[in-house]
């Protein structure tokens, strides 16, 4: 059986996540106080997760808190870099809150690398809910190869 590119990327993501983010508030599945988001990798290299949040994460009534939204987007982009077999830290994030993200409704977070110019990764991510983009983000990450080298 042939291993697909997405399966190889998911393997990279899991290895690096276990090695460098064992207690991450976003992506650690063993952090009992975390968001426990499990990202998948598509054939085109995007990282994606389908999730839903309850009132515990409320900002304004009925809406997901903006800080939680920012954290989710940052985590998705970080996991996208993990899927490439690398690690990097956030340098800059520019987030546009277009519409409220509703609590108790499913949402999808997607992240992709749009450019790489050593040592910077340029990424985009968005949160989609009810068929529309609610929040989008552009970010820069600074490569931290020393962390990923210990994991592979």
Residue entry with tokens 């983000």: 137
Collapsing DSSP states into helix, strand and coil, what is residue 134? strand
Residue 49 belongs to what H/E stretch?
Answer: strand 47-51
Does residue 150 lie within any of the structural domains?
Answer: no
Does residue 117 lie within any of the structural domains?
Answer: yes
pLDDT in tens, 8-24: 898 989 899 999 989 99
Does residue 39 lie within any of the structural domains?
Answer: yes
**How would residue 4 be classed by pLDDT, with cut points 50, 70 and 90?**
confident
On the question of pLDDT at 107 being above 80, the answer is: yes
| Residue 99 belongs to domain with CATH number | 3.10.129.10
* In the chain, % of residues over pLDDT 90: 80
Strands of the sheet containing 107-117, edge to edge, are 40-41, 47-51, 107-117, 120-129, 132-143, 88-97
**How would residue 118 be classed by pLDDT, with cut points 50, 70 and 90?**
very high
Convert 76-133 into a string of H (helix), E (strand) and C (coil). HHHHHHHHCCCCEEEEEEEEEECCCCECCCCEEEEEEEEEEECCEEEEEEEEEECCEE
pLDDT in tens, 53-103: 999 999 999 999 999 999 999 999 999 999 999 999 999 999 999 999 999
Q: What is the pLDDT of residue 54?
A: 96
Does residue 51 lie within any of the structural domains?
Answer: yes
Distance of CA 63 to CAs 11, 16, 17, 37, Å? Answer: 34, 32, 29, 19
Q: Into how many domains does the chain fold? A: 1
User: What rounded mean pLDDT belongs to the chain?
Assistant: 93
Does residue 151 lie within any of the structural domains?
Answer: no
Q: Which domain holds residue 71?
A: 5-144
On the question of pLDDT at 2 being above 60, the answer is: no
Whether this prediction's pTM lies above 0.85 is answered by yes
Angle, in degrees to the nearest 10, between helices 5-20 and 66-83: 120
Does residue 149 lie within any of the structural domains?
Answer: no
CB 134 within 8 A of CB 101: yes
């Amino acid at each position: 059986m042939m291993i697909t590119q997405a399966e190889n990327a998911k393997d990279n993501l899991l290895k690096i996540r276990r090695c460098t983010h064992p207690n991450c508030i976003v992506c650690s599945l063993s952090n009992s106080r975390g968001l426990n988001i499990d990202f998948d990798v598509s054939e085109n290299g995007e990282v994606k997760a389908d999730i839903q949040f309850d009132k515990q994460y409320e900002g304004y009534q009925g809406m997901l808190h903006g800080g939680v939204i920012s954290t989710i987007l940052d985590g998705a982009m970080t996991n996208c870099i993990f899927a490439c077999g690398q690690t990097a830290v956030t340098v800059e994030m520019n987030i546009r809150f277009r519409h409220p993200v509703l609590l108790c409704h499913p949402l999808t977070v997607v992240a992709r690398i749009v450019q790489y110019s050593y040592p910077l990764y340029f990424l985009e991510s968005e949160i989609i809910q009810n068929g529309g983009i609610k929040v989008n983000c552009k970010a820069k990450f600074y490569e931290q190869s020393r962390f990923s080298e210990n994991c592979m």
